[in-house]
Chains A and B, each alone.
Chain A
């Protein structure tokens, strides 16, 4: 079974530029999550989708971050404009149904460096 795919794996941009990350979840998984992991910290949830609807985006900085999940499969996360503090690993995860006691499966992440 193929895992969660993410691209690109690495990205270096200058502050105020825009960047987009792509995620393809495990086939059949209805729930998709985007996390931000800053160096030395644990992953922090940014947004959760159930199929193509948003379940929770309370921790997404909506003035600069946006995400979409068209057709309930792939998802993109965009940052516009980027700030220095956005340097982090962006992890995508998926789950079968998003139920409470369920395992989330993570992709390898995209490492972003903002200069």
Chain B
């Protein structure tokens, strides 16, 4: 049972353009969402998060949008840079678990072409 899904295994974008990574979830109890970025041979690093009380959170070039009715979130990167090439994971957590328990998607490999 895959509660968090990233249906695009890979995405290729030209440098300077917008990158849009998508994530869908099925558990309506999820109320906190995060995006992590992973380079080869390194652990995931936190990028940006959003609580279910918001529909948008922005941090520099990165913006996360949440559509609760569609159980969908997306990460926008504008403008895309070569250093953004990495695997991106979305993750979700629900407050009913008490302590934080993250459920991750399968990841999307983003490649930024010069």
What is the interface of chain A, defined by CB distance below 8 A to chain B?
Answer: 4, 31, 40-45, 48, 50, 55-56, 91, 93, 95, 98-109
Contacts and interface: CB of A to CB of B under 8 A. Distances in A.
Contacts of A44: 104
B44 A106 contact: yes
B99 A56 contact: yes
Given A42-B4, A42-B89, A42-B104, A98 B43 contact: no
Contacts of A98: 99-100
Interface in B1-55: 4, 6, 9, 32, 34, 36, 41-46, 49, 51
A43 B42 contact: no
A101 B51 contact: yes
B43 A42 contact: no
Given A42-B89, A43-B104, A4 B43 contact: yes
Contacts of A43: 44, 89, 102, 104
A101 B52 CA distance: 11
Given A42-B4, A91-B43, A104 B107 contact: no
B86 to A, nearest CB: 13
B55 to A, nearest CB: 16
Contacts, number: 69
Given A40-B106, A42-B104, A43-B104, A99 B44 contact: no
A95 B89 CA distance: 18
A103 B49 contact: yes
A88 to B, nearest CB: 13
Nearest to A106: B43
B43 A108 contact: yes
A4 B44 CA distance: 11
15 contacts: A41-B106, A42-B105, A42-B107, A43-B89, A50-B99, A56-B97, A56-B99, A91-B43, A100-B95, A100-B97, A100-B98, A100-B99, A100-B100, A101-B32, A107-B43
B64 interface: no
